[in-house]
Structure 1
């Protein structure tokens, strides 16, 4: 008998809380604690890995996200959160035109854009190593920056990656960020990614698009990526803070909103 969605959500919330408390989990331990099969735990951890929350290793996983307190997956089911990320990515993909050269950073949400390009001919330049795991259209030319690999997110950083980006002029730039604020701009919690994101903004000749769910809007993190006036569009969801959204719009930024559950 299959579990109901509510039971699945509760189990995933328990796993996430256990990760938050212990940082490392073992599949066999969780299987015994939660009374489900190891296969079920593996599937949950696989989903968390796709969302950039954990890094799997043989027999378990370790926490890599620094932002679980602000992560919507603590307030909604993981399925709802993943659906929200897809909705944001799909809406952002509508801004891409046939023949565009685009930058995509290490964001798991921004990377989902690759699934919604349909039959458009697009050149994608990214430092996100997980791009190799996505089945893309033959019309997409994929360029990886190379560089030092950050194992936490399987992204490429450092001088080599930055130098390659500096030699390319992109038509559009799609960045997922840790925070976006009308007053302080866009920011990240990962120092090594600051240079890459900033270089993508600098080398974009057209629209710059920020993908950020409601938990990122109005938030500021340690490392500044760019000023708010460097942004053309914000793609977010309907649960984003209305006051902050108004302030962002007042800065001349176009805000595209997808529907989100308010539960």
Structure 2
């Protein structure tokens, strides 16, 4: 995705439904060029097209959440991908930034990816990556495999690195998630004692959600954007967690 396509994506995300001619005006290119860009973005499931308009995906899917703060999430995903060596086996949990990580890996790497996310498995279907999709109950809203079968399957596979998303962080609660069943899968993955990375944009810090994602000691590194407030940097440092701050290009 080039800079102009990122601009279009963010503009549509901010405005929900935008005429193609307006996108041509704000990007300074022809309508024909914008249509080519929209074809690319629609094929990648970043947005959808209606006659004469580009429209944000209006639901709670991973694709929809991916559009929020996309440049920062893409920078985080590219850094995370740089930590993965060809031939490695990694676990990638659900979430919008992790979905972008999967897109980067699909283009650049040959690794084995274990995931509970049907969405992420689908993103990798035409890549050189081997994909292990955990069994279990399909949580349709999040496109995740959850429940005892998914946890059992996860306990019987091994990986070098795990990349997880979070819904919240607070000094009194640690990392938290909105959904109990997904949180159970995250905790199981963290307890495998691989190198565990929290991959999230800074907007999640300061929020508290019901379900704990295990003790902070299970996390080796937090990868987030450079807008993280200093107070949370200090809290992570006090907890002994390495924090890498990434600036979007």
Per the normalisation by structure 1, the TM-score is: 0.70
Partner Cα separation in structure 2 for residue 235 and residue 98 of structure 1: 21
Q: Partner of 2:190 in structure 1?
A: 201
Please tell me whether the aligned partners of residues 63 and 96 of structure 2 are also in contact (alpha carbons under 8 angstroms). Answer: yes
Please state how far the C-alpha of 1:183 moved relative to its aligned partner. Answer: 3.8
* Residue equivalent to 1:246: 234
40 and 127 in structure 1: CA distance in 2 versus 1, 3 angstrom threshold: farther
Q: Which residue of 2 aligns with 1:184?
A: 173
CA gap 1:239/1:39 in 2 versus in 1, 3 angstroms: farther
Match for 1:44 among 53, 56, 59? Answer: 56
Give yes or no for contact 1:105–1:127 (8 Å, CA) kept in 2: yes
Aligned to 1:162: 151
Report SS of the residue matched to 1:243. helix
Contact 1:179 1:212 in 2 (8 A): no
Match of 1:106 in 2: 94
Normalization by structure 2: what TM-score? Answer: 0.74
User: Unaligned 5+ residue runs, structure 1?
Assistant: 15-36, 54-72
Stretches of structure 2 lacking an aligned partner (at least 5 in a row): 1-6, 19-48
Output one character per residue of 1:170-212: Cα deviation in whole Å (capped at 9) or x when no partner. Answer: 2111001101234422110111111111111112x33100011
- Contact 1:184–1:227, Cα closer than 8 Å, also in 2: no
CA distance in 2, matches of 1:144, 1:232: 24
* SS of alignment partner, residue 142 of structure 1: strand
Matches within 5 A, 1:52-63: 52-53=64-65
Shift of 1:133: 3.2
1:161/1:7 CA distance change after superposition, 3 Å: closer
| 2: CA distance, partners of 1:50 / 1:182 | 27
Partners of 1:165 and 1:152 in 2: CA distance: 21
Partner of 2:28: none
**Rounded Cα–Cα distance in structure 2 between residues aligned with 1:222 and 1:215:** 17
Distance 1:159 1:13, change over 3 A: same
CA offsets 1:18-68 (integer angstroms, 9 cap, x no match): xxxxxxxxxxxxxxxxxxx94466731279744444xxxxxxxxxxxxxxx
Q: Which position in structure 2 is the counterpart of 1:152?
A: 141
Q: Give the Cα–Cα distance (whole angstroms) in 2 for the partners of residues 255 and 229 of structure 1.
A: 13
Paired with 1:13 and 1:227, the residues of 2 have a C-alpha distance of 42
Q: Measured at CA, do residues 213 and 10 of structure 1 come closer, stay the same or move farther in structure 2, by a change above 3 Å?
A: closer
State the number of aligned residues: 211
Choose from 220, 240, 243 the match for 1:255.
243
What is the CA distance between 1:220 and its match in structure 2?
2.0
